Amino acid sequence: MKNSVIFPLIFSFLLVSGCDKPNADAYKLDPIFQDYQQQLAATNSDLEGLKKQAEASKKDLSTSKAQSGQAAIHRKKLNELLNKIAAREQQVRFWKIRIESQAKASQKEYLQARSEGRPWPDQKKTEAYMTQKRLRQAKMVWDQKDRIKEYEESSKPKPPPSSH
């Protein structure tokens, strides 16, 4: 009786563990793909916030007095918001295209790495991407006060780690 139960369990375990199918959704595990998705989500939330601001600005424009100068101020603010909305919508389209192309490239790299027995995702490529991202997003204006403050913070002696 024991052998009749153990044998099928061992056989099914070997059958399942011996199956080595490629992951059809491996691209979802790619850190670059995930970062693109996070940036798309951030852009979408920013876009929604701008749309709410534009609605409020439209209400302000409709209630402002035409001859008081308020209308010109509200119209200018509304036009600025509409320009920002158009730019964010373009960014959303950009991120969707980047996500789609990265998904295809990641899946291709995964299959190639799998066939060659290499680890995937490639850590060097991911690190290079993150470095480029930090450089793209770095502050491009260096104020003298900010540089002095950063220098003072970096030159402070760090306290030793506390031992609990």
Using one digit for the tens of pLDDT, what is the confidence trace for 112-147? 999 998 998 899 999 999 999 998 888 777 778 877
Host domain of residue 104? 24-115
68 in a domain, yes or no? Answer: yes
Q: Could you tell me which of 48, 20, 32 has the C-alpha nearest to residue 111?
A: 20
Using one digit for the tens of pLDDT, what is the confidence trace for 30-55? 999 999 999 999 999 999 999 999 99
Show Cβ contacts of residue 104 under 8 Å, excluding neighbours closer than 6 positions.
27
13 in a domain, yes or no? Answer: no
Contacts 24+ apart (CB under 8 A), 108-112: 110/22, 110/23, 110/26, 110/27, 110/30, 111/22, 111/26
56 in a domain, yes or no? Answer: yes
Amino acid identity, residue 40?
A: L
How high is the pLDDT of residue 68? Answer: 78
134 in a domain, yes or no? Answer: no
- For the residues 144-157, what does the mean pLDDT come to? 82
Judged against a pLDDT cut of 70, whether residue 18 lies above it is answered with no
Judged against a pLDDT cut of 60, whether residue 104 lies above it is answered with yes
4 in a domain, yes or no? Answer: no
Mean pLDDT of the chain: 86
Domain count for the chain, please give it.
1
Using one digit for the tens of pLDDT, what is the confidence trace for 43-99? 999 999 999 999 999 998 888 887 778 888 889 999 999 999 999 999 999 999 999
How high is the pLDDT of residue 9? Answer: 61
18 in a domain, yes or no? Answer: no
How high is the pLDDT of residue 25? Answer: 86
How high is the pLDDT of residue 144? Answer: 81
41 in a domain, yes or no? Answer: yes
Judged against a pLDDT cut of 90, whether residue 109 lies above it is answered with yes
156 in a domain, yes or no? Answer: no
